[in-house]
Structure 1
Amino acid sequence: MCQQHQNQGHDGAPAASPQSDTNTRPRYNDSFPWHLGAFDAHCHPTDTMSSIASLATLNARALAIMATRSQDQHLVAQVAAEHGVSDSDSPLNHGDDSILDGPASKRTCRVVPAFGWHPWFSYQLYDDTASNHSSPNSNPDNATSTTEDAFRIAHYKAVLSPTPKDPSFLSSLPPPTPLSSFIASTRKHLTSFPHALIGEIGLDKGFRLPQQWLPDDASSRDEGLTPGGREGRLLSPYRVQMQHQQAVLQAQLRLAGETGRAVSVHGVQAHGVLYDTIAACWKGHEKKILSRREKKQIAPGAEESSSSDDDDNEDENGNEKEPKQKNKTARGKPFPPRICLHSYSGSADTLKQWFHPAVPSQIFVSFSTAVNLGTDSGRAKLEGVVRAVPDDRILVESDLHMAGEEAEAMLEDMYRLVCEIKGWDLEPGVRTIGKNFQDFIYG
């Protein structure tokens, strides 16, 4: 979410200059093998809509672009309608003969849309599914602007910490959107775009709301940026209570499970509670860990049993069901089938729990120069974390708020760095990461 990273790091501290700045980027003696297929697993070009025109000239094969708030859901859908991947693009081959728009000389970058509500903006939703939360619009005939204002103020006092007391700050906040309404609209987007993800979603203990716009600020704001971001404003003391962030996250995780969609997850200063929140969704569906004796008793080639494989093999009439097609995403689970921990900033030790063999979701981890190289602490831990990620679960992203040359330079830098840390030659490494992207998107 780099529109705010320009002024605030992923951990809430001031961000350092990106390592891919044109004046500080390393010089490479070899050319980057874009023709093999390079993929940006997480970015926000709809924060700068003018940059979308660069998709026609990008070297990257595909971008997974994230929605985050009310102002950009329709923009992601708009871009995906024109540039989105289609059934003919599936799977996203990563070789020279990619089916993405044919010959490399005529290929244009494709978009994988993602629809979600970022934790930074979670305060703008109210959980109308909670038993103790009622809406002033539940009875439109009796609703008045006074009751709506009172409800809005009561909502923000309930979900922000410390409790705001400044009337001008409270009045500057937008009327909250019902969580059920957002989930319903997201479901429609997922129906319109069969390969769409859910993202960016997650938890953040470090984020603070920006201060309200002052009367003289409107004339100076950058009209090229999609509204809703920080845009250089000073930070207020207010944070979104973790319980509310969790409610918003859980609703989106349930939707991902119901629809069989992968999710892109944000986690800052909340790695433990993030894992616990997501793990609660798959409780009772963990994979069975077989003993050595049980493994020896399994016939060669047979699939390991799993408590998450709870579908009956017979229909209601006792007839054997048709076998499941390989790579078809299971739907109707209470947890996402695939999860990407985007710009992962936790430790290698914390990462171990995500890759426990009982975890029923496929876990992927992506890295960006914007976040993972943005602070001294991030740079210090990156090598150990990259080594801790299985080779078939690592992804690369830009996490930049625009598409274009800068984003591609940052993407290339991280591709090269991951390959170096993993001990991969560049071309095999690019192919591996491309295959991982394919597996994350399509399963």
Structure 2
Amino acid sequence: MTVTDDPAAATTRDGGEPVAACDAVLRHVVDVHCHPTDSPATLSPDSMHRLPITICPMASRKSDQPLVRALAQAHPDKVIPGFGYHPWFSHQIATEPVISKRHHYSSIFLKAPIKSDHEDLFNELLESLPDPILLTDVLAELKQNLTDFPNAMLGEVGIDRSFRIPIDFDVSPRKLTPFTVPLEHQISIVEAQLQVAVDLGRNVSFHSVKAQKATLDLIDRMVEKHGDRWYRISADMHSCGFSPQTWTDVQKKHGNIFLSLSTTINEKSPNHRELIAVCSPNRLLVESDFNDIRGCAERTWEMVKIIADVKGWVVEDEWVEGDVLEEDWGVVRRLERSFRLFKQGQHTLPTRKRSAATSKGTS
């Protein structure tokens, strides 16, 4: 998830048409992770009509669950919605009955010994924070949204060990506090949401920042807990920041984990091209991770071209209908197959894990 300083002022990078590719090709491109509802001023019926690709807009907090829902209802032919609570907002969720707003937030942010000036910052932060919502209510809403949209996925959810809570998230520049959401709280929130995804058979868009070990441990727990049911769904590591070696290990061990990259985030990393190089063609997805609908197609297409360059695949300049020999496939057709595999799920549980996981009863 990313936020521009002034979303309403964002434009395409070249100031003209969003993508230099024909519509027949772009209709087969899927932006698997974006946040256009974060910039409602640019999200109009006209901007959606001109959008040449399919998008997967992600919800991240209480206020945007209905916004993503409305966008999916208005444009079912172009929108695959994601519903869920991002780790940046997990502190707003209470796992136990709330005694008071102060009690809830102090139990999260003031557990450890704090510096004297931190208490003043906490009091300032407390004034801007919403009343906490119960996890049971979050899960009930999540189940309803996923049930109402059979093509919806869980997202954006995950773990983030670097994000500091701002006094006001929606004001730019943000005034950051020293407070972070404890890892154990983040994990309790994301595991509860993953349980819903497994129960309903829905795929996942997963955020992981500075939390590689915690994320891999979580995936291992999902395998042990759910067995075959976990492998019936797919999980995408969005704007993946894993090292190439870690990703190589993950894709060998877990047949249901996919990788998507964005120029918004990954272009800043020196290893994103190596990540593409080591990733199986059947696990690669593309995204914009952008919050202005006018830039989603362009940024997604930029990543399509980077993948084509790294993998040595041609970029289609026209779309050929019907059967095409795989040896003649271009980058868009290959990415389309990868997304189809992500979407359909039903992955095979690794043989070495099958006996242990199934013997526990795949609850």
Q: TM-score under structure 1 normalisation?
A: 0.67
Q: Hey, what's the Cα distance between the residues in 1 that align with 2:216 and 2:183?
A: 13
Residue 191 of structure 1 aligns to a residue whose secondary structure is: helix
Q: Hey, what's the Cα distance between the residues in 2 that align with 1:334 and 1:407?
A: 30
Identity across the alignment (%) = 30
Q: Look up the match of 1:433.
A: 335
Q: How does 1:35-114 map to 2 (within 5 A)?
A: 35-36=24-25, 37-53=28-44, 54-60=47-53, 62-85=54-77, 110-114=78-82
Q: Hey, what's the Cα distance between the residues in 1 that align with 2:66 and 2:225?
A: 36
Question: What's the CA shift string for 1:130-186, capped at 9, x where partnerless?
Answer: xxxx433xxxxxxxxxxx244334344357996852223223322111111101101
More displaced stretch, 189-198 vs 432-441: 432-441
Contact residue 60 and residue 84 of structure 2 kept, 8 A = yes
Q: Look up the match of 2:240.
A: 344
Residue identity matched to 1:283: E
Q: Hey, what's the Cα distance between the residues in 2 that align with 1:424 and 1:229?
A: 41
Q: Look up the match of 1:382.
A: 272
**Equivalent residue in structure 2 for 1:32, among 21, 35, 53:** 21
Larger gyration radius, structure 1 or structure 2: 1
Q: Hey, what's the Cα distance between the residues in 1 that align with 2:343 and 2:302?
A: 23
Q: Look up the match of 1:280.
A: 221
**Equivalent residue in structure 2 for 1:194, among 150, 155, 162:** 150
Q: Hey, what's the Cα distance between the residues in 2 that align with 1:256 and 1:162?
A: 37
For residues 149 and 69 of structure 1, do their structure 2 counterparts lie closer, same or farther at Cα, with a shift above 3 Å needed?
closer
For residues 149 and 257 of structure 1, do their structure 2 counterparts lie closer, same or farther at Cα, with a shift above 3 Å needed?
closer
Q: Hey, what's the Cα distance between the residues in 2 that align with 1:153 and 1:397?
A: 34
Residue 137 of structure 2 aligns to a residue whose secondary structure is: helix
Contact residue 102 and residue 126 of structure 2 kept, 8 A = no
Instruction: State the 1:347 CA deviation.
Output: 0.6
Q: Hey, what's the Cα distance between the residues in 1 that align with 2:305 and 2:153?
A: 26
Report which of the two has the higher share of helix.
Answer: 2
Q: How does 1:42-441 map to 2 (within 5 A)?
A: 42-53=33-44, 54-60=47-53, 62-85=54-77, 110-128=78-96, 134-136=97-99, 148-157=100-109, 164-166=118-120, 167-212=123-168, 229=170, 231-283=172-224, 308=228, 333=229, 337-357=233-253, 359=254, 362-373=256-267, 375=268, 378=269, 380-404=270-294, 406-427=295-316, 428-441=330-343
Q: Hey, what's the Cα distance between the residues in 2 that align with 1:126 and 1:171?
A: 17
Instruction: State the 1:35 CA deviation.
Output: 1.1
Q: TM-score under structure 2 normalisation?
A: 0.81
Instruction: State the 1:270 CA deviation.
Output: 0.7
Q: Hey, what's the Cα distance between the residues in 1 that align with 2:240 and 2:32?
A: 12
Contact residue 60 and residue 89 of structure 2 kept, 8 A = yes
Instruction: State the 1:68 CA deviation.
Output: 0.2
Instruction: State the 1:267 CA deviation.
Output: 0.7
Instruction: State the 1:55 CA deviation.
Output: 1.1
Instruction: State the 1:49 CA deviation.
Output: 1.7
Residue 280 of structure 1 aligns to a residue whose secondary structure is: helix
Residue 165 of structure 1 aligns to a residue whose secondary structure is: helix
Instruction: State the 1:78 CA deviation.
Output: 0.7
Where does the alignment leave 5 or more consecutive residues of structure 2 unmatched? 317-329, 346-363
Instruction: State the 1:71 CA deviation.
Output: 0.9
Instruction: State the 1:335 CA deviation.
Output: 6.9
Provide the aligned length of Structure 1 versus Structure 2.
Answer: 318
Contact residue 162 and residue 238 of structure 1 kept, 8 A = no
For residues 117 and 415 of structure 1, do their structure 2 counterparts lie closer, same or farther at Cα, with a shift above 3 Å needed?
same
Contact residue 52 and residue 403 of structure 1 kept, 8 A = yes
Instruction: State the 1:2 CA deviation.
Output: 1.8
